[in-house]
Structure 1
Amino acid sequence: MNIPEYLTSGILESYVLGAVSDEERREVECLSSIYPEIRQELDRLSAALEDYALSYSALPPIGLKEQIMAKLDFGTEAPPVETETPVVALPADSGPTYKITWIAAASLGLLVLIFSFFLLSQLRQAQRISATLRDSNETLQTEIQRQRDIRQRSEDLLAMLRQPEVRIIRLKGNDKAPTGEMMVYWHPHSRQVMVEIMNMPPLPANQQYQLWSLVNGQPVDAGVFDVTDAPQKMGRVIAQADAFAVTIEKRGGSPAPTLSSLVMMTPVTS
């Protein structure tokens, strides 16, 4: 169970205020007996409610009782009659009616407290919705940027393929990468090189594939690349190439190829 999410759901505040159904009440009581964190939060909310009610309770103003009794005085003692029959006067004290003011003040304070808890619950819900929308927006923006990068790289490759004399070399993996396959696009005049991954095993974060051109048997660094969905433009230019090869190197590349990690090599046909 996600305890922090349950504590911020607003159900405990509603329970303290008595604004829950019988099913919700049983749920809160059951969970509070199982999880100490819920029991502590429930006790804290109950204490806060009691402190709030006591803080906003007030004694009636001085003299309020006399003012009320004065308004309830319906007159003086009746005049005596000739028959000398005793006259019964109204009692001077009709009861503790001043308590009405205290009850009204306490009720008003309770209403304010209920409304405050309601606003707090709405604020927490709004914060959760805002966080969800923010995460969704960030994910969407990341995906939009990724799609833009893919489109731009595809447009760069299409522009290269439209140029005359572009060489297209298909590289296939050896026994160390039997399913490996990729395309190398090389334009000898502009010396630009792009690669497109067809099927390459992913590497650990501390490793990268490195492309080499072989000129008279000597390797020339053509740059490093990762396994991605989009064509990649290599960071180095290649003037000559008798063949292209790929090795697995540490991230950032190596000044010389590691022959033991050679995964593919294909000659450039004339």
Structure 2
Amino acid sequence: MNVTEYIESGILESYVMGAVSDQERREVECLSSIYPDIRRELDQLSVALENYAMAYSIEPPVSVKDKLLKQLDFEQPVETETVVRPMPVERSTSTFRTTWMVAASVGLLLLIFSFFLLSQLRNSQETLTSLRTANSSLQSEVRQLRDHQTQSDQALALLRQPGTRTLELKGNEKAPQGDMLVFWNPQTRQVAVEVKSLPALPADRQYQLWSLVGGKPVDAGVFDVTNTNALIQKLNRPIDKADAFAVTVEKRGGSPTPTLSTLLAMTPVDA
């Protein structure tokens, strides 16, 4: 509480002069018992008011006393009328309760509105996350389709080149349903494959194509079993000579030498 502002408000002067309500009177008496500065100011005002009254008081004429004594009859009791005054109604508690209920209602409405906004924000964030995920997945699919289209265009360009040979490799007893085509152009040294039917492999394994020259294997590149059997995959190893082509299963990325135990197919060039 700011004691200085309270003293300067004029409430103490009104209290000393008796021009305050009951509530204000109780308030002044309570605060003066708590704060010494208020008590001191109140005492000073009381003394000043008393001095002012003494300084400017007027002695009444003697005749006034005689007139009053004649008008008073001390033999008969003076009947006094009892004045019944209604008890003052304390409105502060009711007003406080009403104010508190209004404030609580407003606070509840704000809380409900805040929860609504938070729910809408979470829904918007979830929708945005789903859209971002779908967009990322769509972009990935578009990139894959673009890569496949590029490979297909390159493979088709290889097939159109003069001198391109087409060799069919059939699976052995380890892949009896295996079937694929090898496209090879000795002049451009380009190689491509088209898988018609080969068993699916674990994620850490790949098929590897080999060209056999004088009985020695030469790495011709790795390839996968695609979802579309018609896709032609161009390999990244140049092959200028080949007596035969063979396919083995190797670790992902390829191996420098073939694993003969995984040999699935082999066919000579001049069959």
TM range (shorter): 0.5 to 0.7
Give SS of 1:168's match: strand
Q: Please point out which of 101, 104, 112 is paired with 2:102.
A: 104
SS at match of 2:145: helix
1:171-199 per-position Cα deviation (integer Å, ceiling 9, x unaligned) = 11111011111111111111011111111
CA distance in 1, matches of 2:97, 2:250: 86
- Secondary structure in 1 matching 2:248: strand
Distance 2:213 2:155 in 1: 24
User: What do the CA deviations read for 1:119-176 (whole angstroms, capped 9, x no partner)?
Assistant: 1111121122122112211111111111111111111111111111111111111110
1:264 counterpart = 2:265: yes
Q: 1:101–1:157: structure 2 CA closer, same or farther, 3 Å change rule? A: same
Separation in 2 of the partners of 1:107 and 1:256? 81
Q: How does 1:156-167 map to 2 (within 5 A)?
A: 156-167=154-165
Is 2:94 the partner of 1:93? no
- CA distance in 2 between partners of 1:268 and 1:206 (Å): 30
Equivalent runs, 1:139-158 vs 2, <5 Å: 139-158=137-156
Partners of 1:187 and 1:266 in 2: CA distance: 16
* Distance of 2:259 and 2:108 partners within structure 1: 77
With 152-161 and 85-94 compared, the bigger mean Cα shift is at: 85-94
SS, match of residue 142 in structure 1: helix
Map of 2:234 onto structure 1: 233
Deviation digits for residues 69-100 of structure 1 (CA, Å, limit 9, x no counterpart): 9xxxxxxxxxxxxxxx9998776427423422
**Alpha-carbon shift at residue 221 of structure 1 (Å):** 1.3
1:1-270 mapped onto 2 (5 Å cutoff): 92-93=88-89, 95=91, 96-228=94-226, 229=228, 230-269=231-270
- Give 3-state SS (helix, strand or coil) of 1:240's partner: coil
- What amino acid is the match of 2:252? R
When the two structures are superposed, what TM-score results if normalisation uses the length of structure 1? 0.64
C-alpha deviation, 1:250, in angstroms: 2.1
Q: Which SS does the other structure have where 1:97 is aligned?
A: helix
Q: For residues 241 and 110 of structure 2, what CA distance do their matches in structure 1 show? A: 82
Shift of residue 240, structure 1, vs aligned partner: 0.7
Q: Tell me, what secondary structure is at the counterpart of 1:204?
A: coil
CA RMSD of aligned residues (A): 2.6
- Which AA in structure 2 matches 1:208? Q
Say which SS state the counterpart of residue 270 (structure 2) adopts.
coil
In structure 2, C-alpha distance between the alignment counterparts of 1:167 and 1:88, rounded to whole Å = 127
TM-score, with length taken from structure 2: 0.64
Name the count of aligned residue pairs: 191
Residue ranges of structure 1 left out of the alignment (5+ in a row): 1-65, 70-84
Q: Distance in 2 between matches of 1:117 and 1:146?
A: 43
Amino acid at match of 1:239: D
CA distance in 1, matches of 2:156, 2:84: 114
CA distance in 1, matches of 2:142, 2:117: 37
- Amino acid corresponding to residue 142 of structure 2 in structure 1: I
d(CA) in 2 for partners of 1:180 and 1:197? 9
**Structure 2 residue ranges without an equivalent (≥5):** 1-19, 24-80
Instruction: Letter of the 1:150 partner, please give it.
Output: H
Using the alignment, how far apart are the partners of 1:170 and 1:209 within structure 2?
A: 16
Q: Greater CA radius of gyration, 1 or 2?
A: 2
Identity of aligned residues (%): 57
**Partners of 1:140 and 1:161 in 2: how far apart?**
31
